[in-house]
Structures are given as C-alpha cells and as structure tokens.
Amino acid sequence: MAELLVVIGAGGFGRETADVVEAINRSAPQPQWLLQGVVDDSPSATNLARLTARGIAHLGSVDDLIAGDERPQYVVGIGSPRIRRILADKLDAAGFNAATLVHPDASVGSQCTLGEGTIILAGARVTTNVHLGRHVHLNPNVTVGHDTVLEDFVSMNPASSVSGDCLVQTGALIGVGAVVLNQLTLGPRALVGGSACVVTNVAAEAVVKGVPAR
Ligand SMILES: CC(C)(COP(=O)(O)OP(=O)(O)OC[C@H]1O[C@@H](n2cnc3c(N)ncnc32)[C@H](O)[C@@H]1OP(=O)(O)O)[C@@H](O)C(=O)NCCC(=O)NCCS
C-alpha cells in the first residue's frame, strides 16, 4: 500500500521533489507514495497558483502539520541547508520520520548509502562507495565521485560536481555548475559559488567563488 508523504516547501525544489514522487510512482508496479500535499508556512501567491495548477494541495504550516493527528513521512524540499535543518529537527522531535527519494532517472552505484530525508533529482550520478548523510539534496545532473562523503544537510545545486575521495561537511552548499577537485574537504556550512572550481580545502563557513575558487 502506498505510504503517506508530505513535502515541506512550495518553492522550486519542493515542486521538483513532487516530480520525483510522481516519477517513482509511475515507474513502480504500484504507486509507492500517496502525496498528501505541500506544507509551507508562507507560500507566495505565485507558488500557491503553481501548486493549484498541478493539483497539489497546500496543507498549511509546519505547526498545522504537527498539530494534526497523522504522522505521514516527510521530506524537506527547501534549498537552504540551514532552514532544512531547523525544520527537520522540529519534525523529528514531533515524531515524524523522513523519507528518502531517488528519481528513477538518477543513478546510484555500488556500496553507496543514503540517509533519511535525502532527495536525488533526475540525472544525478552517484558513483561507487559514496555516502550521503541525512537530508542531502542532489539537484539535476549533479555528479558525486567515488569514495566521497556528503554529510547531513549538504546541498549540491544543478550540474555541480564533486570528484572522488572528497569530504563535504555538514550543511555545505555547492553552487550551480561548480566543480570540486578530488581529495578535498569542504568544512561545515562552506558555500561554493556558482561555476567555481575548488582546488584547495575550504574552511568552515567560508564563501569561495571563481576559478580557482578563493
Ligand atoms: C558566490 C555567492 C554565494 C556570492 O553571493 P553574494 O555574497 O551575495 O555576492 P554578490 O552578488 O554581492 O556579489 C559580490 C561580488 O562577487 C561576484 N560574484 C558573485 N557570484 C559569483 C560567482 N559565482 N562567481 C564569481 N563571482 C561572483 C559579483 O559579481 C560581485 O563582484 P564585484 O564585487 O566585483 O561586483 C553567490 O553569488 C553564488 O554563486 N551562489 C550560488 C548560487 C546558486 O547555486 N544558484 C542556483 C540555485 S539552484
């Protein structure tokens, strides 16, 4: 029987996550998820209209969800690692469990592990012996090379690449189209700008951009 699921966040990543759910259901013999709707404390009018146009309900705020009797599984479809962490901690404390979603057009290689709450969008390539923590986001066409670890709440924006043997620590964000060369460490909450090429380790909370990234 399909399991109940809610997506937190009516923005772009939240609605892309709804696409993952629909694609998983289409690809399975029986639908795996029953998407109850999207939870968002303050969706914009534009995003509400976008949800309505595709027939997805706005279920109210996170507090509304917590106040209810049901405990559907959840994923946080919000790009900011910081906000994602706050919401995941709040929902976990209220007795919710996070789902893990992988688009059928993504690939995950041998000896990989995926933490709960992790969402992998279409076209992402995760190779061998890669470990993704909890609530990691891989956007379309991301690549994660062999033997790399992405810790909890890491975000890789579209078409970014992390090479082999890297360690990306908790809450780091890698911007659109950026490249991280092999055997490097990005510290907790590091931020790599779009199109950067990272050639040295990046300190915790540092922002780097450009080629080579500084
Ligand atoms: C690097 C980044 C974090 C900087 O943000 P910011 O501090 O707000 O930067 P600003 O927009 O104020 O720009 C500051 C300077 O950096 C430059 N800059 C901004 N982003 C840059 C980037 N990715 N690469 C090179 N230079 C960049 C700006 O041109 C500006 O230069 P100037 O001082 O000579 O005019 C941000 O621009 C970025 O790339 N974020 C990732 C975005 C992303 O992945 N989007 C996809 C979402 S799915």
Ranges of each domain in the chain: 3-93, 102-209
Please say whether the beta carbons of 103 and 120 come within 8 A.
Answer: yes
Spatial strand order in the sheet of 119-120: 101-102, 119-120, 137-138, 155-156, 173-174, 191-192, 207-208
What is the model's pLDDT at position 213? 98
Q: Determine if ligand 1 sits within 6 Å of the CB of residue 207.
A: yes
CA 102 / ligand 1 centre spacing (Å): 30
CATH fold label, 102-209: UDP N-Acetylglucosamine Acyltransferase; domain 1 (2.160.10)
Architecture of the domain defined by 3-93: 3-Layer(aba) Sandwich (3.40)
Pocket test for ligand 1, best of 179, 209, 214 (most atoms within 8 A of CB): 209
Q: Tens place of pLDDT for every residue, the chain, 214 residues? A: 899 999 999 999 999 999 999 999 999 999 999 999 999 999 999 999 999 999 999 999 999 999 999 999 999 999 999 999 999 999 999 999 999 999 999 999 999 999 999 999 999 999 999 999 999 999 999 999 999 999 999 999 999 999 999 999 999 999 999 999 999 999 999 999 999 999 999 999 999 999 999 9
Give percent above pLDDT 90 in the chain: 100
Is pTM beyond 0.85 here?
A: yes
Q: Are 154 and 173 in contact (CB under 8 A)?
A: yes
155 lines ligand 1 (CB under 6 A): no
- Tell me, what's the pLDDT at 89? 98
| 60 CB near ligand 1 (under 6 Å) | no
Model pLDDT, residue 96:
98
Burial bucket for residue 116 (CB in 10 Å: 0-12, 13-18, 19+): middle
170 in contact with ligand 1, CB cutoff 6 A: no
Protein residue whose Cα sits closest to atom 5 of ligand 1: 193
Q: How far apart are CA 174 and CA 171, in angstroms?
A: 10
CA atoms of 183 and 197, how far apart (whole Å) = 14
Tell me the CA–centroid distance for residue 29 and ligand 1, in Å.
Answer: 44
CA 178–ligand 1 middle distance (angstroms): 12
Q: Check if 195 has its Cβ closer than 6 Å to any atom of ligand 1.
A: yes
Which residues lie across from 208 on neighbouring strands? 192
Ligand 1 atom closest to the CA of 209, numbered from 1: 24
* Neighbour tally for 12: CB within 10 Å: 14
- pLDDT of 68: 97
Q: What's the pLDDT score for residue 7? A: 99
- In short, whether 176's Cβ falls inside 6 Å of ligand 1 is yes
Q: How many CA within 13 A on the CB side of residue 143?
A: 13
